[in-house]
Amino acid sequence: MLFFNIPTMYETTARMSRSMSQVLDLYDRLSNATDDGNRARIVADAFAELGQRYPHLPDLATRTHLSETEIKLTKEIEQLRHQTEQVHKEVLNIAQPKGL
């Protein structure tokens, strides 16, 4: 039997609450920043924190990546199918006795 790690409603609510709290904290820090330099630093720190929290984020495949991969694989499958048919025809030609 397989068990999946499905978050409970409490875990999901707690995660959403933390995220909302962090968003509100970011908004508060940006609102209270005195100049553009401080705002830029706050935004840069937020992105750095995001990268630390989700290190696998840059490796996620997008729909575009998946579509491109699907197209490439479909093309390769068609090429292999064509090559297989050619080899099959050659084998049949070799297997047939000459003169028939």
Q: Are residues 54 and 67 in the same domain?
A: no
Task: For residue 33, give every residue at least 6 positions away whose Cβ sits within 8 Å of its Cβ, in sequence order, or none.
Answer: 39, 42
How large is the average pLDDT for residues 32-40? 94
- Structural domains in the chain (count): 2
Domain range for 70 is 61-100
| pLDDT tens figures, 8-34 | 766 667 666 777 788 899 999 999 999
Distance CA 73, CA 81 (A): 12
Q: Are residues 27 and 73 in the same domain?
A: no
Q: Are residues 77 and 55 in the same domain?
A: no
Q: Are residues 20 and 65 in the same domain?
A: no
Distance CA 63, CA 34 (A): 40
Q: Are residues 5 and 29 in the same domain?
A: yes
Q: Are residues 47 and 26 in the same domain?
A: yes
Distance CA 16, CA 10 (A): 10
What single-letter amino acid sits at 31?
A: S
Rounded to the nearest 10 degrees, what angle do helices 36-53 and 9-32 cross at?
A: 160
Burial (Cβ within 10 Å: 0-12, 13-18, ≥19) of residue 67: exposed
How large is the average pLDDT for residues 49-61? 82
Q: Are residues 51 and 68 in the same domain?
A: no
Q: Are residues 39 and 23 in the same domain?
A: yes
Q: Are residues 8 and 49 in the same domain?
A: yes
